[in-house]
Amino acid sequence: MSTPKTALILSAHAADFVWRCGGAIALHAEMGYEVTVACMSFGERGESAKLWKEGKSLDEVKAIRRAEAEAAAEVLGVHRLECFDLGDYPLALERDDKMRLVDLIRKVQPAWMMSHSQYDPYNTDHMYMTQVALEARMVAQAWGHNPGQKVLGAPQLYLFEPHQTEQMGWKPDTFLDITPVWEKKRAAMEHMNGQAHLWEFYTRVAQQRANHFKRNSGGQSGGRDCKYAEGFQSIFPRTVDEL
Ligand SMILES: [Zn+2]
């Protein structure tokens, strides 16, 4: 049996992977990829306002957010959900936490990785996550780090769409048609009860990006129809034999 293809999502908070790349996860899971999602925190302090307004305790908020993330991951076909539980607002990784992330990257050996936009003045946890993702990817590629382990190749790091695109300096160069798995993404979003106000917003984002998919695949001259899409910005160049 051949080794399955793998992918790794690095999410600062428990719900980010659902809004920003739930379609990519579900689509690749259906293709046979083993998609691992690593959440550094549950977004318990910064992205759970509704639960705090209801008077929940910190432990209750974390438990609810964990359950929501697990339910969403199940719907999306996530192979493995790893919750680092490092706390949020602010998110901070100690050296040991970073090495745990490096170990995970080496273990998964992802064909591609995904994380947040490189700049996010509204949510510094997000841009910190991407800085840490680049750092961990770099260490995982170093032959001198834990010699004897399988060294990481050069997986692309895709940046998924942030909440207020224009403010983040995020510029997509890849549109992924997620129409075949849209119902799964919508169902996963609806598991995030603490942020019900985002369900319709991210449905509209997917519809807008679908229009960009159509336009960039040929538009009125043979463009492909698409109802829902996700956009990504890639960090590293592609290596090709033909343009
Ligand atoms: Zn977040």
- How close is the Cα of 6 to the center of ligand 1, in Å? 23
Compute the distance between CA of residue 84 and CA of residue 90 in angstroms, rounded to an integer: 14
At residue 124, the pLDDT reads 97
pTM, entire model: 0.96
- How close is the Cα of 127 to the center of ligand 1, in Å? 10
- How close is the Cα of 42 to the center of ligand 1, in Å? 9
At residue 196, the pLDDT reads 85
- How close is the Cα of 176 to the center of ligand 1, in Å? 21
Cβ density class 125-163: b for 16+ within 10 Å, e for less: bbbbbbebbeebbebbbeeeeeeeeeebeebbbbbbbbb
> pLDDT tens for residues 47-61?
889 999 999 999 999
Q: Is residue 1, in this structure, part of any structural domain at all? A: no
Compute the distance between CA of residue 173 and CA of residue 87 in angstroms, rounded to an integer: 32
- How close is the Cα of 12 to the center of ligand 1, in Å? 6
Q: Is residue 35, in this structure, part of any structural domain at all? A: yes
> pLDDT tens for residues 83-110?
999 999 999 999 999 999 999 999 999 9
Backbone angles phi, psi at 37, to 5 degrees: -115, 125
Q: Is residue 232, in this structure, part of any structural domain at all? A: no
- How close is the Cα of 31 to the center of ligand 1, in Å? 27
- How close is the Cα of 100 to the center of ligand 1, in Å? 20
Q: Is residue 84, in this structure, part of any structural domain at all? A: yes
Provide mean pLDDT across the span 136-154: 98
What is the DSSP secondary structure assignment for residue 34, as one 8-state letter? E
Provide mean pLDDT across the span 116-125: 97
- How close is the Cα of 241 to the center of ligand 1, in Å? 38
Give the number of domains in the chain.
1
Compute the distance between CA of residue 22 and CA of residue 181 in angstroms, rounded to an integer: 9
Q: Is residue 183, in this structure, part of any structural domain at all? A: yes
- How close is the Cα of 119 to the center of ligand 1, in Å? 13
Domain span at residue 22? 6-194
In which band, very low, low, confident or very high, does the pLDDT at 1 lie, cut at 50, 70 and 90?
low
CATH code assigned at 163: 3.40.50.10320
- How close is the Cα of 239 to the center of ligand 1, in Å? 32
